[in-house]
Amino acid sequence: MMSGGSSSKASPSRSASASSSMEDAVKWEEPWVEADDGVILFGDDEHGYTLSSTFRLRDRKARGFLRLFSLVLICMDKLLITNNYDFFVSSMSSIIRYLQVPEINIFV
C-alpha cells in the first residue's frame, strides 16, 4: 500500500534540471538565423589568419532570392593583416559594392 506522502513526480531540483536541459535542446532545434553581413578576423600562428568579408547578392534562383558569399584573405602574418586592416576592409567593400550594383539593375 502506498502512503499519501509519496508521489511519482520528480523532485523540484530534478525537474528544474530537466526543464533546463529541455530548454537547451529546444534552442538547438530552433531554425538557424543568418547573421548580418560583415567582416571577421580569425586564426592562429600555427595555421595562419583569415580575414573574411561576408555579403549577399540577389539571385532569382536562390532560396529567399539571396545568395551568401564571402571574400577571403588568408595570410600567415597577423601583423600584416592587422596593420593593413582598414585597407583590406575598404578594398573588400569596394569589390562588394561593384558586384552589387549590376544586380540592383538586373533584379529589380
**Alpha helices (runs of H) in the chain, residue ranges in sequence order:** 12-29, 78-83, 85-107
**pTM to 2 decimals?**
0.62
Termini Cα distance of the chain? 76
Q: How many domains does the chain have?
A: 1
User: Does pLDDT of 73 surpass 90?
Assistant: yes
Q: Please tell me which of 29-38, 78-87, 93-102 the model is most confident about, judged by mean pLDDT.
A: 78-87
Domain extent at residue 73: 35-107
Strand partners, 70: 54
What is the rounded average pLDDT of the residues 36-45?
A: 92
Q: Is residue 18 part of a domain?
A: no
The pLDDT of residue 65 is 87
| φ and ψ at residue 44, rounded to 5 degrees | -150, 170
Q: Is residue 91 part of a domain?
A: yes
Indicate the pLDDT class of residue 1, thresholds 50, 70 and 90: very low
Q: Is residue 25 part of a domain?
A: no
Q: Is residue 58 part of a domain?
A: yes
For residue range 43-57, list pLDDT tens digits in order: 999 999 999 999 999
Q: Which three cell numbers stand for residue 3?
A: 502512503
Beta strand spans in 1-108 (E): 38-44, 48-58, 66-75
